Structure 1
Amino acid sequence: MPLTAKGPRGRATRYVISATCGLLPILLGGVILYWQAERTLEQSTTQTAQEAVRQFDLMLDNTALAARDLLPLAGKPCDNAVKLALREQVTRRPFVRATTLSWQENIYCTSLFGGDKQSQVNPDDYVGGRLWLMNGNPVTPDTALLVYRLVEGDQGAFASIDSYHLTNALRLISRYAHLVLQVGPNWLDADGKVHNDAVPVFAVAHQHLASERYHYSVEAGMPEGETWRYMQARYPALFSLMVFFGVLAGVLAHWLQKRSSAPTQELQRALSANEFIPYFQPVVRGDTRQWAGCEVLMRWKHPKEGLVRPDLFIPLAEDSGLIVQMTRALLRQTAAQLAPHAERFHPGFHIGVNITARHCQDLELVTDCQEFLAAFPPGRVTLVLELTERELIEPTETTRSLFDALHQLGVMIAIDDFGTGHSSLGYLRNFNVDYLKIDQSFVAMIGADALSRHILDSIIELSVKLDLGIVAEGVETAEQCEYLVAQGVDFLQGYLFGKPLPCDDFIKSLGHR
């Protein structure tokens, strides 16, 4: 199947399709990369939240140990020994900034300078009675503190972690994710300030994770647009590859649209452009070698591929049903080209045209033949329809009516390539035919294969008994010609007498004859 030089689609449509094919790999690749980036960021924030909880649990473990060690001292006088024990926990325990003792909900002794600070404890400040995220104390105002409280009866011990350790953890655990520590209604982010409004919700990969051991939780996530920033930072090579494949797909789609279309559409396009043209091969009389007529052969004059052989497009035309329209167009072109030269023809000049089973499904062929014969003076030409056997012609009422009507017009029927199809003998039995055309494969074996020659002789004998005319195709040598004439073959056709020619060359050759 040749490829098109100009597809049936308009230029704007082709450009839209090409652009779509070019953008599709880019868009699809972008979606896949975006999805992959989202998954990666979600995994990153999940790991960040888990690591933050691990770090804060570790800090609180130290405060809990400090409070546990100090709890037996609660209620004792705040003397130098007790103060020394409080300060010893600060120096021994990592992350512990200050320690405090209380008795009956009254703080009375602390590791901070002064040592015997007095203040009232409000248990409601502590989430679960244990944790309070407070915004500083009188010694360090506006500086976040995470206080751990341990109470048994009237005794109470406190250990606190200041914002230095808290904000360092929030800043350094992840380079990309933002972290928030929440204890009850209060929360702390990397700026070191305690807030009591709504906890921020991150637009990208938001994760909430609560500690299983202490009453706090962390929020992890990233701001809006972080997915695209991540993709730009991590996937520049893949972006370039997507653009490359997108451009390649667009160019390929554009080339394929210019180069080819669906086979049936291509045939339809060629039919509309009158690219199917008639070529004429002479048929001569066996006894005199005079030109008795011609067979009209369809050729495809493709604007880019040149002249296309019929075996490359005729089967497809038959399968698609376009062969009927193509034959109609061929008959009209043949009449238009040969009618002006009709005076050069001997009366009854045979013009053979191939038809298939598709032509025999209705009676439109009768109208086509009427129009063809009307273009010539009465009796000047004889139209011969040659039945090809690529598709089986069923002997229905329609086909019988068709052949009867054609015979009434003076149209003759020939069986093409007789002897090669499975239905040749069936056609002789079911249809009223006038000629047999011997397939060139039998003619080619004259003098070379005895079996083929016997088959050839049998076909000739059969035509004589049935009183049918006979045409031998594919005659290329003088030996073949002499043998066929000796056997009484009526008409000969082949390269020995002339190749298929366009109309002008055919008429010139006819004049020489």
Structure 2
Amino acid sequence: MPLTATRSHTRPLRLLVTLLCGLVPILSGLAILYMQAERTLAQHTRQTAEELVRQIELMLDNTALAARELLPLAGQPCEAVKLALREQVTRRPFVRSTNLIWDNNLYCSSLFGAVEERLDPSNYHQGTLWLMNGNPVTPDTALLIYRLNEGRQGALATLDGYHLANVLRLIGGQTRLRLQVGPHWLAADGKVRPAPLPGLSVAQNELGSTRYAFNVEAGFDKGEAWRYMAREYPPLFSLLIFFGVVAGTLGHWLQKRASSPSRELQRALEASEFVPYLQPVVHSDSKRWAGVEVLMRWNHPKEGLVRPDLFIPFAEHSGVIVPMTRALMQQTRRLLVPLAPQLEAPFHVGINITARHCQDLALVDDCREFLNAFAPGAIALVLELTERELIEPTPVTRQLFDQLRELGVKIALDDFGTGHSSLAYLRQFNVDFLKIDQSFVAMIGADALSRHLLDSIIELSGKLGLDMVAEGVETLEQSDYLSAQGVNFLQGYLFGRPISAQAFIEALTATNGS
């Protein structure tokens, strides 16, 4: 990159700075990935615990229904009702046995017929459930007994622990799941333990049933976050190393340059070296062009075309970004005015702005000048808020956005869901569009949890009445899924890469001609 920095005075210091430049993106990236892994695992355990509670409640619904139907028979002779007990066992899924009680004496069983056994109500948690490690018939098989009692009458329905352990295994997968009833615990091995099990180190989540007297616990063993990263993020590790090498190389190179970045940017601005590149945005249903996002490129006389990530941060930090954006809007206006009759109105033109643009009202004049060059309604100017710098909601900022709205300028929140300020911006500014970050789009068909996050963002947009633009669409599967979910606009390499002004004119002519 043609930006320059002050040369280091000593070789060891320069090497140290280079090393730090290389390590910072790697270490910070690892920290971000670790936090993301922890959040993903926590969400997974929460969803798994909810599903486990739902499945156990469904099982207990059958036992409770059997007990309710048998309760009125309590007190009648066992010989007269034992067939009814056995009928409930055959009719109700998961029910292993049923029993009748009179005055806390178990006197009739679907397994043995007439019996005589004293029942201790204190064994039942909250008077209804008892998790035990078996009975004389099956001493090594866990049982969950549901008790229903009214006055002297009582009924028991027994749920086979095999079904409970099976649910713990099938739903859990790699997640550790446990069922707690009173002081007793059941794990996926089917064994009932009378004491609390050791706590789960990662993403532990406890959830209690609102209908029955049991709790479930979900979590992972120690080190699962790193194991998850090793399973799911290998490509990102390579990317972090790549960024580290690039950052280290860039840091070393910048130290060897002599001029200041802001002066180099100012020189390039005066030489009109910053040029617009346009990337199509299409309607999700018809795939026709709905507009473009205008991206800045640096056409350096010696270095060639420079990527924006190599100079935009310097421009924002030095404040040169404001005149650079003004020049970009002027070039875009001159490009589109002759083409306006060929554009489908209202043709969306997206321009990125930062916190620097929001510190005075000059942006209003720039937007007014842009829109006045076109017939009313021909162009929809969309300002996309980026989050590299936080936009403070000052009185000037509020006045700025009020005046922009009066002009008919639309506001889009770029890369929604990846920055800490996205939700704050929704509260503070009157946003028209949410741009879904390409990291969520890339996970369609590959990562179910990330797809759930994407679906939540789409649902939030619908509830707020906001239009949506999905970035980074590269496959037909992604396009079809986003269209089916009601995303309004799509943008990505599937529909076109950022292209120069001349290439845009040729593409527009070809599109209209077809």
Determine if the alignment matches structure 1 residue 391 to structure 2 residue 389.
Answer: yes
Structure 2 Cα separation of the partners of residues 408 and 289 of structure 1: 30
Determine if the alignment matches structure 1 residue 2 to structure 2 residue 5.
Answer: no
Residue 426 (structure 2) aligned to one of 428, 443, 449: 428
Structure 2 Cα separation of the partners of residues 391 and 259 of structure 1: 26
Equivalent AA in structure 2 for residue 2 of structure 1? P
Structure 2 Cα separation of the partners of residues 382 and 465 of structure 1: 23
Structure 2 Cα separation of the partners of residues 324 and 370 of structure 1: 16
Corresponding residue for residue 496 of structure 1: 494
Alignment of 1:244-263 (within 5 A): 261-263=259-261
Equivalent AA in structure 2 for residue 373 of structure 1? L
Equivalent AA in structure 1 for residue 431 of structure 2? V
Structure 2 Cα separation of the partners of residues 396 and 3 of structure 1: 33
Corresponding residue for residue 349 of structure 1: 347
Residue 408 (structure 1) aligned to one of 397, 406, 409: 406
Corresponding residue for residue 295 of structure 2: 297
Instruction: Say if 2:3 and 2:260, in contact at 8 Å, map to a contact too.
Output: no
Structure 1 Cα separation of the partners of residues 318 and 478 of structure 2: 38
Determine if the alignment matches structure 1 residue 317 to structure 2 residue 315.
Answer: yes
Corresponding residue for residue 506 of structure 1: 504
Instruction: Say if 1:300 and 1:310, in contact at 8 Å, map to a contact too.
Output: yes
1:260 positional shift: 5.3
Alignment of 1:460-479 (within 5 A): 460-479=458-477
What TM-score do you get using the length of structure 2 for normalisation?
0.50
Corresponding residue for residue 326 of structure 1: 324
Equivalent AA in structure 1 for residue 2 of structure 2? P
Instruction: Say if 1:339 and 1:375, in contact at 8 Å, map to a contact too.
Output: yes
Give secondary structure in 2 for the equivalent of 1:294. strand
Instruction: Say if 1:285 and 1:291, in contact at 8 Å, map to a contact too.
Output: yes
Structure 1 Cα separation of the partners of residues 457 and 257 of structure 2: 46
1:318 positional shift: 0.4
Structure 2 Cα separation of the partners of residues 412 and 326 of structure 1: 21
1:391 positional shift: 0.4
1:259 positional shift: 7.1
Deviations 1:404-451 (A, max 9, x none): 100110100000000001000000011101000000111111111112
Give secondary structure in 1 for the equivalent of 2:382. strand
Corresponding residue for residue 232 of structure 2: none
Corresponding residue for residue 40 of structure 2: none
Equivalent pairs, count: 263
Determine if the alignment matches structure 1 residue 369 to structure 2 residue 367.
Answer: yes
Determine if the alignment matches structure 1 residue 486 to structure 2 residue 487.
Answer: no
1:512 positional shift: 2.0
Structure 1 Cα separation of the partners of residues 308 and 449 of structure 2: 30
Instruction: Say if 1:437 and 1:470, in contact at 8 Å, map to a contact too.
Output: yes
Corresponding residue for residue 337 of structure 1: 335
Deviations 1:94-152 (A, max 9, x none): xxxxxxxxxxxxxxxxxxxxxxxxxxxxxxxxxxxxxxxxxxxxxxxxxxxxxxxxxxx
Equivalent AA in structure 2 for residue 317 of structure 1? A
Equivalent AA in structure 2 for residue 290 of structure 1? R
Structure 2 Cα separation of the partners of residues 512 and 259 of structure 1: 45
Structure 2 Cα separation of the partners of residues 354 and 492 of structure 1: 17
Structure 2 Cα separation of the partners of residues 309 and 498 of structure 1: 17
Corresponding residue for residue 356 of structure 2: 358
Give secondary structure in 1 for the equivalent of 2:339. helix
Deviations 1:48-85 (A, max 9, x none): xxxxxxxxxxxxxxxxxxxxxxxxxxxxxxxxxxxxxx
Structure 2 Cα separation of the partners of residues 3 and 349 of structure 1: 35
1:284 positional shift: 0.1
Instruction: Say if 2:361 and 2:396, in contact at 8 Å, map to a contact too.
Output: yes
Corresponding residue for residue 416 of structure 2: 418
Give secondary structure in 2 for the equivalent of 1:379. coil
Structure 2 Cα separation of the partners of residues 291 and 262 of structure 1: 41
Alignment of 1:49-198 (within 5 A): none
Structure 1 Cα separation of the partners of residues 333 and 508 of structure 2: 17
Residue 380 (structure 2) aligned to one of 378, 382, 385: 382
Corresponding residue for residue 165 of structure 1: none
Instruction: Say if 2:276 and 2:297, in contact at 8 Å, map to a contact too.
Output: yes
Distance 1:424 1:3, change over 3 A: closer
Structure 2 Cα separation of the partners of residues 3 and 317 of structure 1: 11
Corresponding residue for residue 446 of structure 2: 448
Structure 2 Cα separation of the partners of residues 507 and 293 of structure 1: 13
What TM-score do you get using the length of structure 1 for normalisation?
0.50
Give secondary structure in 2 for the equivalent of 1:300. strand
Structure 2 Cα separation of the partners of residues 260 and 267 of structure 1: 14
Instruction: Say if 1:3 and 1:260, in contact at 8 Å, map to a contact too.
Output: no
Deviations 1:264-293 (A, max 9, x none): 110011011110000000000001000000
Structure 2 Cα separation of the partners of residues 501 and 270 of structure 1: 20
Structure 1 Cα separation of the partners of residues 277 and 257 of structure 2: 27
Instruction: Say if 1:286 and 1:490, in contact at 8 Å, map to a contact too.
Output: yes
Structure 2 Cα separation of the partners of residues 260 and 436 of structure 1: 42
Residue 266 (structure 2) aligned to one of 265, 268, 274: 268
Please, what is the CA RMSD of the aligned residues?
1.8
Structure 1 Cα separation of the partners of residues 321 and 481 of structure 2: 36
Equivalent AA in structure 2 for residue 443 of structure 1? V
Instruction: Say if 1:338 and 1:503, in contact at 8 Å, map to a contact too.
Output: no
Instruction: Say if 1:284 and 1:291, in contact at 8 Å, map to a contact too.
Output: yes
Instruction: Say if 1:443 and 1:473, in contact at 8 Å, map to a contact too.
Output: yes
What are structure 2's unaligned runs of at least 5 residues? 6-253
Give secondary structure in 2 for the equivalent of 1:340. coil
Structure 2 Cα separation of the partners of residues 269 and 448 of structure 1: 46
Distance 1:500 1:358, change over 3 A: same
Deviations 1:142-188 (A, max 9, x none): xxxxxxxxxxxxxxxxxxxxxxxxxxxxxxxxxxxxxxxxxxxxxxx
Give secondary structure in 1 for the equivalent of 2:469. strand
Instruction: Say if 1:3 and 1:305, in contact at 8 Å, map to a contact too.
Output: no
Structure 1 Cα separation of the partners of residues 258 and 448 of structure 2: 47
Equivalent AA in structure 2 for residue 278 of structure 1? P
1:374 positional shift: 1.4
Structure 2 Cα separation of the partners of residues 304 and 503 of structure 1: 21
Deviations 1:319-374 (A, max 9, x none): 10111010001000110111111111111100000000010011110000011111
Equivalent AA in structure 2 for residue 487 of structure 1? Q
Distance 1:404 1:411, change over 3 A: same
Equivalent AA in structure 1 for residue 360 of structure 2? D
1:3 positional shift: 4.8
